[in-house]
Structure 1
Amino acid sequence: MKRCLLALSLALCAAAAAAAPATYELDPNHTQVLAQWSHFGFSNPVANFGEVDGTLVYDPEDVAASSVQVVLPLSGLQAFVPRFNDHLRSDDFFDAANHPVVTFRSTRVEAKGEDRLAVTGDLTIKGITREVVLDVRLNKTGQGSDGRAKLGFDASTAVKRSDFDLGKFAPNVSDQVDLRITTEAIVPRASEQP
């Protein structure tokens, strides 16, 4: 009987720990932040913001207590053509020499139904900050192959280039840019935590 009670206590403790808020690090190997726009109506090119660095706090019991912070170094911006990469990083667009990163910091997280969230936050590009709302779908929570807690989600939003002083060639090159994000995040090992 004591063994059964001990096993039940351990199981309840494990369940409570699994439901507690956790801090995750974004996995840059399994994260893509894709931007897509219309080029004179002829094509819809994409660029990927690689080298993502970020953390998120997720509390399934109190979603409003969740948060996310992301840094996108423009050194990782990849439009798949070297000359175009350089053009996007130039002062015609991102001016990466003077503004080397794009950042996002959430200000509010709201539940929007089963596995759906609205994440409102401040997007900063070229020193200009605008509020954006990400439509988020939680794909899965569980354990990674090494036993650490892991989650994955997809998100999307649309922004106007001109809001961030990136509006060159608009409206022929669309002012609206659609952003699609897919990511996995994992709780860091104890030795990696501050």
Structure 2
Amino acid sequence: MKTFSLLTLSSLLIFLAFKPATETFKVDTEKSSIEWVAGKVGGSHKGTIGIALGKLDYDGKALKGGSFAIDMTSIVITDLQGNSNKNLLNHLKGDDFFSVAKHPSATFEITKITPDGTDRVNITGNLSIKGISNSITFPATVKRQKNVVVAVAKGVKVDRTKYDIKYRSKSFFGDIGDKAIDDEFELSINLVATK
């Protein structure tokens, strides 16, 4: 019995000794970016939004977790100029959309990672906008080179109506016709994180 206990203890110690430690990589907010596209009948608008802070956790050779905060005050529209740009920007920041004065940040926290090839994973996490949290899943490419991790996810679809953003949604206003705005908008996320 004593021998069995010693073997079990030895096995446990060996396992712990070789288990890779979790490393945390801090998101570089200057090198990281989020692009957005929002569609409507007859067209779309696009722009960027900044990342306030974030981290990616690595365990050996695999991504194990992470989170980031989006600075909602930094919304930029890149396809309009002048008053058109200003008016849409004020509308996006207002209560019909993101209520930025009340909710200056949005967050995403990874809850599950499923490998899907060499550098590809499916990421599931909680996206919180306007204080409302919903789980979303999307594919991403994650690569590590020494002390840098780059995570890229394109075409991440977000249903705005799940965050109480119903302005000109056909799902809620069926007779809106050609003034409708798509329920889903898309994000392209590019995170660069360093140790």
Range into which the TM-score falls when normalised by the shorter chain: 0.7 to 0.9
- Alignment CA distance shift 1:51-1:166 (3 Å): same
Q: 2:145 aligns with which of 142, 156, 159?
A: 142
Residue 127 (1) aligns with residue 131 (2): yes
CA distance in 2, matches of 1:176, 1:115: 27
Question: Which residue of the partner structure matches residue 16 of structure 1?
Answer: none
Asked whether the 8 Å contact 1:69–1:105 carries over to 2, the reply is: yes
Asked whether the 8 Å contact 1:151–1:185 carries over to 2, the reply is: yes
Question: Which residue of the partner structure matches residue 4 of structure 1?
Answer: none
The structure with the largest alpha-carbon Rg is 2
Question: Which residue of the partner structure matches residue 59 of structure 1?
Answer: 59
In the alignment, structure 1 segments of 5+ residues that lack a partner are 1-18, 144-148, 188-194
Deviations 1:87-125 (A, max 9, x none): 111111001111111111111112111101111111111
CA distance in 2, matches of 1:118, 1:51: 21
CA distance in 2, matches of 1:51, 1:178: 16
Q: Where does 1:1-194 land on structure 2 (aligned, <5 Å)? A: 21-40=22-41, 42-61=42-61, 63=63, 66-80=64-78, 81-138=85-142, 140-143=143-146, 149-156=147-154, 157-171=156-170, 172-187=180-195
Asked whether the 8 Å contact 1:20–1:61 carries over to 2, the reply is: no
Asked whether the 8 Å contact 2:157–2:184 carries over to 1, the reply is: yes
In the alignment, structure 2 segments of 5+ residues that lack a partner are 1-19, 79-84, 171-179
CA distance in 1, matches of 2:34, 2:62: 26
- Alignment CA distance shift 1:31-1:82 (3 Å): farther
> Percent identity of the aligned residues?
24
CA RMSD of the aligned region, Å?
2.1
Deviations 1:3-31 (A, max 9, x none): xxxxxxxxxxxxxxxx7532111111221
Q: Which of the pair is proportionally richer in strand? A: 2
CA distance in 1, matches of 2:165, 2:33: 21
Asked whether the 8 Å contact 2:114–2:122 carries over to 1, the reply is: yes
Q: How many residues align?
A: 162
C-alpha displacement of 1:182: 1.3
Query: Which sits farther off after the overlay, 114-123 or 50-59?
Result: 50-59
